[in-house]
Structure 1
Amino acid sequence: MLTNAIFLQAEGGGIMSMLPFILMIGVLYFFMIRPQMARQKKEKQFQSSIKKGAKIVTSSGIHGKIVDINDNDNTVSIETGAGKIKFERSAISMELTKKYDPQAKK
């Protein structure tokens, strides 16, 4: 009789005991995973829309102007005060053309 009581207690809380874990996974998805995916998509779109002549800053903090874009190997050549440097397109963190040039198209 004691084993029947224990079995009935374990059977009754199956779905209810899993509910906190399911809610936790849902919260993690909507507050962490989904916004990160949106940021990655926005960053990828920005990097693919970069044009020749744009003033940019790399992720390492180097300021320069894009003088050449090579789509084959996904690199850009940036002209800085020290000369031309070749970077991966993914190293570009932001564009400064609009900040320094108010006449630039938005």
Structure 2
Amino acid sequence: MQLLAVPMASSGGGGITLLIPLILIVGMIWFMSRTQRKQRERQAQTVASLAPGTKVITTSGLVGIVEETDDDYVTLEISDGVLVQVVKAAIGRIIPDEDVTADEATDSTDEAADAVEEPAADKDPVDVPDAGRDKADGKVQDAPKTPPTHTEN
């Protein structure tokens, strides 16, 4: 009996197949750290630009006007006479002043109100005698009610 030694087929490029996933992992980590660094820089700029009278939104959704800033805390007025002290890191973003946009909005609503014609007083209103009424007893029927589409737990 004769045994023949046949060499095993190699996968070829064994080093490169291990190197590609490693490069991908390092690239993902670098990209995520870069994104987080940019977010931290934006947050630092937002906190640095806080001044009394600035309207802000906190990370928890609280809207208020900055009354006072300290080293670590910001005092917000969330309603007339209601002051809340929050950590500076809790300031999510600054709301830009809407004075210009509010003036433009009032101008456009004034123009729209002028464009609407008022109904003439001498015209008779349209009267439809049986519209929306049940013929049998003369009572107004309610619209059919649809069941809720989901239930709450």
TM-score (norm 2): 0.51
Q: Is the 8 A contact 2:64 2:78 kept in 1?
A: yes
Describe how 1:1-106 pairs up with structure 2 within 5 A: 13-14=14-15, 16-71=16-71, 74-81=72-79, 83-96=82-95, 98-102=96-100
What SS does the corresponding residue of 2:19 show, helix, strand or coil? helix
Rounded to whole Å, the distance in 1 between the matches of 2:49 and 2:64 is 17
Flag the structure with higher helix content. Answer: 1
What SS does the corresponding residue of 2:46 show, helix, strand or coil? helix
Provide the aligned C-alpha RMSD in A: 2.6
- Structure 1 spans left out of the alignment, 5+ residues: none
Identity over aligned pairs, percent: 25
After TM superposition, give the deviation of residue 54 of structure 1 in Å.
0.3
The alignment covers a number of residue pairs equal to 93
TM-score (norm 1): 0.70
- Structure 2 spans left out of the alignment, 5+ residues: 101-153
What SS does the corresponding residue of 2:37 show, helix, strand or coil? helix
Rounded to whole Å, the distance in 1 between the matches of 2:97 and 2:18 is 52
Runs of 4+ in 1 over 3 A off after TM superposition: none
What SS does the corresponding residue of 1:66 show, helix, strand or coil? strand
Larger radius of gyration: 2
Flag the structure with higher strand content. Answer: 1
Per-residue Cα deviation, 1:41-88 (whole angstroms, up to 9, x for no partner): 2112211221121011111211111111111xx101101116001000
Moved more, 28-37 or 39-48: 28-37
After TM superposition, give the deviation of residue 31 of structure 1 in Å.
3.5
